[in-house]
A and B are shown apart, each in its own frame.
Chain A
Amino acid sequence: MNRLPSLITGITLAFAASWLGVVAYSYVELGRLEPYVDENTGEVSPPPLPGLATAGQRVYAANGCVTCHSQQVRPETTDVEKQLGPRPTVARDYLRENPAALGKLRIGPDLTNVGLRITDANELHRRLYEPATVTPGSNMPSYRYLYEMRKISGQSSGQAVQGLTGPHAPPPGYEVVPTEEARALVVYLLSLKRNYTLPEAEPLQSP
């Protein structure tokens, strides 16, 4: 091994093993997973994402939501008991995610099933705009840069965020309107629901 060619061969082979085992295997096996179609109901799982949710994934990635929020419900832990979701997640759950934001930390709560816990878009907008007001003690940053404070001229916009009370709440005569990015992000968050069944996943548990 003290000659360059044989050393290069060894170095290449050592690397090729994990390259084939992890990358090529994932590419071939997991990369070809298909949605599960229930023969009786015709229901597709995981369900297709609403158009805006795909844009919302980009907003989620661009603002680094994954640095604090995981999207995994693990088996053999208290995750289901802590109501992070009705069942542990499996590889196929991430079929439509790009990027798949599994996350490594829970500086903030897990968001795998945030769309099951919060079903009201306005509620999510409030939490993004003034998280520390909605949840006292929260260390989540405010995403108010994804919103516009506008003077109400004539009729108020139907999209304005309701119920803001914190220091950045709109003064009288003003309203806070989500930008396209904020609306996409909220549509994406609302779409995060793993309440469908898959043959390889554990059955759903009622909360």
Chain B
Amino acid sequence: MSALAAKPHSVAPAVSDASVRLPVLLFFGAAVFWLVNGALLAFLSAWKLVDPGFLDGISWLTYGRLQPAAENALIYGWASQAGIGAGLWFLARLGRTALAGHRLLVTAAVFWNLGVVVGLCGIVAGWSTGIERMEFPGFASAILLVAYACIGLWTFVLLRDRSSSGLYVSQWYLLAAFLWFPWFFATAQILLVHHPVQGSAQAPIAAWFGSNLIWLWLAPLALAGAYYVIPQEQGRTIRAYPWSLLAFWGVAVLGGWSGPQVYLLGPVPAWMVSAGVAASILLIIPVTLIGINTFGTIRGPVQGPVIAFVGVGLACMMGAVAQNVLAPAITLVTQFSDYVTGQNVLVVLGFITMTLFGLLYFIVPRLTGEAFRPGATGWHFWLVTCGMATSFLSLTVGGLIQGFALYDPGVTFMTSVELAWPFRLMSAVGCLAFFAGSLYFALSFVNLLLRKADVLPPAKKKGATV
């Protein structure tokens, strides 16, 4: 990162850390809280598919409310907040700048979480909008947007006030994510929830929103972190760095277009679906470049949780895009089957969540000057990795079998349900392991904070130097 030649008035890492410590830890703490809750809800809803009598007949625990609640808790509660917290810290560090004050950010964090609480309560209380990943009732999404306005403003101030010349690729991703999120979130909210367009136009917009949420929001946040922590951990610069900028533009251009591919053969304009299929296949190019950048920089045996988690996360990203490449050949069978859910697990729990875990393992010790207990990270890693992989693999295999049953005119619908059952059971077991791992991580996170009870006001001693 020779591009980041420091200007005279640049601040020391300890000062920039201290300036963002409270808001970043607040975002992380809340994120971990929602991770545990989201993982628990995900397990409960997975179990309901296996044993429909479980907690049956209770309005706020019905599958159709619990499952969206789990998704939204993981996306808006966990992944978004972990990504925002990490992004703020990276911007302060990379810009060698300090936040002028953290009151606005702390308020924003509180409001964001208020939005998540209201949204989740809204879903289970029966005010869900019924639009995937936008199930929060309109007023909850409005709270999120207001909270976001403060966050987005500060990220821009951090970038503008940077004392390092030049911009590193992590800053590109963060700037882009923080610009894109309010744009697509507000667009979709207005057109689908607040002033809904007529039904015929809703599906493409909803699909566009779905792919943006991953590729133009959570993925850039995760990738920004990966590009920062890998060279730091490995003590060398990113391999083939110029390619990372090409990859950035690839994700930027293709991410938004890839959405409509979910409606292959569906009632949306054929050219739009074709564009969606093409974009989701072409994503393999930037993703391969990112793979070369990141895995090309990792050499030698993996030591410590940061590289392990980020490595699994990035491998899942490449796997998910490889599935996109395969899609045209198998969609006729896999569409509407558990295979689709499996790919979702690979993206949200694999790619995004695993990468974010790695970022938290990198940032939290540096912010607090306390290390995670080495024993705890091993349990966490294996439980969540095996849980995610079990769920993904069983849904993928089960989805293929279920998909053939759904496709075959000679097979009844109930047969497809029976065939999918054992795989859904395996997936639920995977979700349980993932929940256990998440809980383990939450406990070791709280343990670390308790050991560092004097973390506020700004600690003078510093962890690892970066």
Contact = CB atoms under 8 A, between A and B. Distances in A.
B463 to A, nearest CB: 30
B166 interface: yes
Contact of A8 (B175, B203, B257): B175
Contacts of A3: 167
Given A22-B256, A138-B414, A141-B63, A168 B201 contact: no
Interface string B64-75: 110110000000
A64 B132 CA distance: 9
Interface residues of B, number: 88
B107 interface: no
A171 interface: no
Contact of A27 (B50, B191, B341): B191
Interface string A115-138: 000000000000000001001011
Interface stretch (A36-44, A96-104, A157-165): A96-104
Contact of A11 (B130, B176, B197, B206): B176
Interface in B249-271: 249, 252-253, 255-257, 259-260, 262-263, 265-269
B128 interface: yes
B235 interface: no
A64 B64 contact: yes
B130 A102 contact: no
A102 B65 CA distance: 17
A94 interface: yes
Contact of A65 (B64, B166, B332): B64
A142 B417 CA distance: 17
A104 B417 contact: no
Contact of B340 (A2, A18, A94, A105): A105
A140 B208 contact: no
A118 to B, nearest CB: 14
B257 A30 contact: no
A24 to B, nearest CB: 10
B167 A94 contact: no
A98 B414 contact: no
Given A4-B167, A107-B49, A64 B67 contact: yes
B431 to A, nearest CB: 16
B201 A30 contact: yes
Contact of A96 (B129, B199, B207, B262): B199
> Which of B64, B159, B179, B265 has most A Cβ within 10 Å?
B64
A201 to B, nearest CB: 9
A93 interface: yes
A93 B266 CA distance: 12
A7 B167 contact: yes
- Secondary structure at the B interface, as helix, strand, loop or mixed, is helix
Contacts of A207: none
A78 B409 contact: yes
A23 interface: yes
A146 B65 CA distance: 14
A31 interface: yes
Interface of A is mostly: loop
A92 B203 CA distance: 12
Contact of A74 (B245, B266, B414): B266
Interface string B123-161: 000111111100100000000000000000000000110
A30 B200 contact: yes
Contacts of A105: 336-338, 340-341
Given A19-B256, A22-B204, A61-B130, A141 B267 contact: no
B204 A30 contact: yes
Of A94, A98, A106, the most chain B CB neighbours within 10 A belong to A106
A11 B252 contact: yes
Interface in B235-257: 245, 249, 252-253, 255-257
B332 A77 contact: yes
Nearest to B276: A22
A180 to B, nearest CB: 13
A139 B179 contact: no
A174 interface: no
Contact of B205 (A17, A22, A61, A145): A22
Contact of A91 (B175, B256, B267, B341): B267
Contacts of A152: none
Contacts of B68: 64, 67
A15 B257 CA distance: 9
Nearest to B188: A23
Contact of A97 (B160, B167, B180, B199): B199
B429 interface: no
A29 B56 CA distance: 43
B251 to A, nearest CB: 9
A65 B129 CA distance: 11
A141 B64 contact: yes
Contacts of A139: 49-50, 52, 417, 421
A137 B197 contact: no
Please name the 6 residue pairs, one residue from A and one from B, whose CB atoms are nearest each other, closest first: A64-B64, A61-B130, A18-B256, A97-B199, A30-B201, A94-B199
Given A95-B200, A104-B336, 6 more contacts: A23-B187, A30-B201, A91-B269, A93-B200, A107-B338, A142-B57
12 contacts: A10-B249, A14-B256, A22-B207, A22-B256, A25-B272, A29-B201, A62-B126, A81-B409, A104-B262, A104-B340, A141-B48, A145-B57
Interface of B: 3, 48-50, 52-53, 56-59, 62-65, 67-68, 126-132, 135, 159-160, 166-167, 172, 175-176, 179-180, 183-184, 187, 191-192, 196-208, 212, 216, 245, 249, 252-253, 255-257, 259-260, 262-263, 265-269, 272, 275, 332, 335-338, 340-341, 406-409, 413-414, 416-418, 421
